[in-house]
A and B are shown apart, each in its own frame.
Chain A
């Protein structure tokens, strides 16, 4: 909390830059249209519970229209278009995202609840970076390592989560479009607005109609997209539970699939680590975006000789985190995205206490309206407890200890997931040793939660399969020389 002597006065970012419409249609064939067999739902701001707008829920008929529009654009416009021409559109989209970055950041913080400093400094710049990066690939696909003339797959059905609404849309759309596919994107039902603003940006960039179609709605809309026979490839980011459902329903259909699911990442701190930076990395690893991060470092594995000191340093640091209005530029921890998610976090935190772990949070006043959970630390966590095994997807860190590198590896890999891991040590050889043995798609060394469009991201085991970003990420959207 703010110190009494130097309390920072409120420094709210202005909302005036965002022009919210009272209601939004579906973005199909380049136009916003009313649903034919869907309905309407409201999207609220999780920090104030204020209703922000009415959004359309796409029914099966709407999804069918979107897929047909995408197919038409694929066959007649986008598929035949030379890569160098597709690149121009993607560069243009990237630039418009940059031009309208403040608007996107404010809207993202309003609809999602994440602090403006994160939407402003991470989500929006990275979204633009993904379009820039993939725009560069569009006319160089022959050099990506998938044969001399890799072909697009067709129409991609993409279902994205609520934790990074705009960024996940960019992760999905940019490589698909660069490779020559067209898309039907389904944003999460609690955070549809930034994707709809992105639709306006696509209009502004004069992207040909039907190349990207955005159908909002809940799980049924997502299921309609995934199961539509006109879809050639499905990309899903979200929970492991839904990922399994999708994989089951796609079996035997011939549709390509990539899944980016949950995680329970180990952040491993050795006794020779740069401690101050490790503490920062632990905080960033689990409290970034309120812990609503699939690759969050939710299990801290700390070597026993320094465990006590690290926990003390963490407690001191957590005392300086500022929780509150997501639009305040000094806010570090924003709102929990939805009441359902808040209930899940509370349930797991209660289970942690019931199973005997010690719970600690800094003195931290929670706002009266909205959905909030204080940054929380569990010490004395045993590997068998639920808080050490299940993904909490909230600002809750479980602290475990280890004695040797082998024990750290064993504990880190002792999970059904395998999305990310962190290693903190000043010893370079140990970093390489650990990185080659950790079963995780991403291993960060002396840092955490760093993303770059050139770096492939994805998981092992129940964290999914397929990669997004980098040359490797293009494979998900191309038919190469060695594919059937």
Chain B
């Protein structure tokens, strides 16, 4: 069935444009309603730990150095040196040239190494260059590859081109997991977000991801809602559960908990797993640690009580 859809540009277009539309007002109202869920006491503590375990601890800057990456890896393995009950994060996410550093620092832990690739963040390079970028990251030891789709091709309606790139990158990934970044801030409509989500899943994405973090707006709750509906419906149709990663601008525990509520009530609680839901973030982790100690010990710690990488 999925192979048939992708057989030609015409059938692909017909399928993507035949998906039910997204009413913007309704989707945003639903997201706002879910944001009023009140998560307290034991469920808050559970959700904070779940959120920590779903973090892709990220540094994606031109100024990144091996020193910065290795300190981030230390934080990833053991987020709170004073409290061994805090779970490790899911992954550390870096540029391809820093994958060897992260790989070495994370040896012996369950924390994955994720690398952005395919001419991140713009994706403006030839397919050959993008594939070389991926091969570089994978051969250096990346467990996960975060690619960007060609938004220009997508917005021009060349869906076949986007699909072929996703497929080619998936193949280049080998055993590495593929996360496909839709860069929803550049897709303009929720209809486009839904189409890009399906396109990526048909192409073989293991995760679909909202944003690079380099474009505003980055992840929003309604965008995540639309993507979670897409993975749920895709699983109903194909039997394959695709993960969702939200990234960009998620800084507070409150933000993170809102996303977990949406995951829980839209895709279902089987998605509340690091294997199916991730949060790409950097400063979020310390806020989660601060709220965690508040929940456990009843008082807020100071910001200086948590390490800054």
Contact = CB atoms under 8 A, between A and B. Distances in A.
A117 interface: yes
A274 B22 contact: yes
Q: How large is the interface on A (under 10, 10 to 19, 20 to 34, 35 or more residues)?
A: 20 to 34
Interface in B228-282: 229, 260, 264-265, 268-269, 272
B41 interface: yes
Given A8-B43, A329-B38, A3 B25 contact: no
Interface in B1-39: 20-23, 25-27, 29-30, 36-39
B36 A9 contact: no
B229 A9 contact: no
A interface SS class: loop
Contacts of A4: 269
B20 A276 contact: yes
B37 A320 contact: no
Contacts of A8: 37-40, 43
Given A6-B47, A8-B37, A8-B43, A446 B25 contact: yes
A426 B21 contact: yes
Contacts of B42: 9
Interface in A1-31: 3-11
B26 A274 contact: yes
Nearest to A6: B264
A280 B269 CA distance: 19
Given A117-B36, A277-B30, A280-B26, A9 B41 contact: yes
B78 interface: no
Given A5-B272, A8-B37, A275-B20, A280 B30 contact: yes
Contacts of B37: 8, 329-330
A447 interface: yes
B254 to A, nearest CB: 14
Interface string A329-359: 1100000000000000000000000000000
Interface residues of B, number: 29
Contacts of B46: 6
Contacts of A79: none
Contacts of A5: 264, 269, 272
A117 B32 CA distance: 12
A50 interface: no
B44 interface: yes
A280 B30 CA distance: 8
A277 B41 contact: no
Interface in A413-464: 426, 446-447
Nearest to B232: A316
A419 B79 CA distance: 58
A121 interface: yes
Given A6-B269, A6-B272, 8 more contacts: A6-B47, A7-B43, A9-B41, A11-B39, A280-B30, A281-B26, A329-B38, A447-B26
Shortest beta-carbon contacts, A-B, top 8 = A277-B26, A11-B38, A274-B23, A3-B269, A275-B20, A329-B38, A277-B23, A5-B269
Interface of A: 3-11, 117, 121, 272-277, 280-281, 320, 329-330, 426, 446-447
7 contacts: A5-B264, A8-B43, A9-B40, A11-B40, A276-B26, A426-B21, A446-B23
